Chains A and B, each alone.
Chain A
């Protein structure tokens, strides 16, 4: 089966510019996650979707970050405006619904964002 697809793979922007990331999850996976991975750290959850509903966005910096998953499939994550500290790898993952916390997450290759 095809894996999680993300684009772009790399993005370099100047601070204060907007940027958007796109994710296409594995077919049939209702749950979609966005993570941010800073250098030397593990991924940290930004937002989790169940179908088109954002069920956990407690870690999403809502002043500048937004996300959507309008039809319950593809998702976009946007930053506007970007700050130097936003430089990181943004990972998308998807999974099937299952017993709480037991569902395996399948990760995409990530988008490496550099803010200059």
Chain B
């Protein structure tokens, strides 16, 4: 069965700082990888996804993630965060159909 680890539970950054959120997964087969975001008071929405091909994936709002197969990682990055990026971020993986989420990382961006 697949599993996902997000090691940073809480991250606090100032505006314009760079962001990297860690995500490691375990699964023996071909994986599909996702980052979802939940802004305060809103529902989960997709930031970006990786299925195959270029391991550097670009998503909405300037986010990107890099799939490193040898490290079983899919870290999320943004070069310069904004106050509006304050949210909870979830990494998720599917093996066959079943989407498994990490525990999430709460990001607080101070103005």
Contact = CB atoms under 8 A, between A and B. Distances in A.
Given A42-B92, A42-B104, A56-B97, A104 B43 contact: no
Given A101-B97, A105-B99, A110 B43 contact: yes
B32 A41 contact: no
Contacts of B103: 40-42
A100 B43 contact: no
Interface residues on B, range: 20 to 34
A41 B101 CA distance: 9
A101 B32 contact: yes
Given A42-B101, A42-B102, A110-B43, A104 B49 contact: yes
Interface string A34-60: 000000111111001000000010000
B96 A101 contact: yes
Interface residues of A, number: 23
Contact of B98 (A48, A91, A108): A48
Contacts of A99: 51
Chain A contact residues: helix, strand, loop or mixed:
loop
Nearest to B88: A42
B25 interface: no
A3 B97 CA distance: 21
A109 B98 contact: no
A41 to B, nearest CB: 5
A91 B94 contact: no
Contacts of A101: 32, 94-99
Contacts of B42: 109
A45 B90 CA distance: 14
B42 to A, nearest CB: 8
B44 A43 contact: yes
A3 B101 CA distance: 21
Interface of B: 4, 9, 32, 34, 36, 42-46, 49, 51, 90, 92, 94-104
Interface of A: 3-4, 33, 40-45, 48, 56, 91, 93, 99-102, 104-105, 107-110
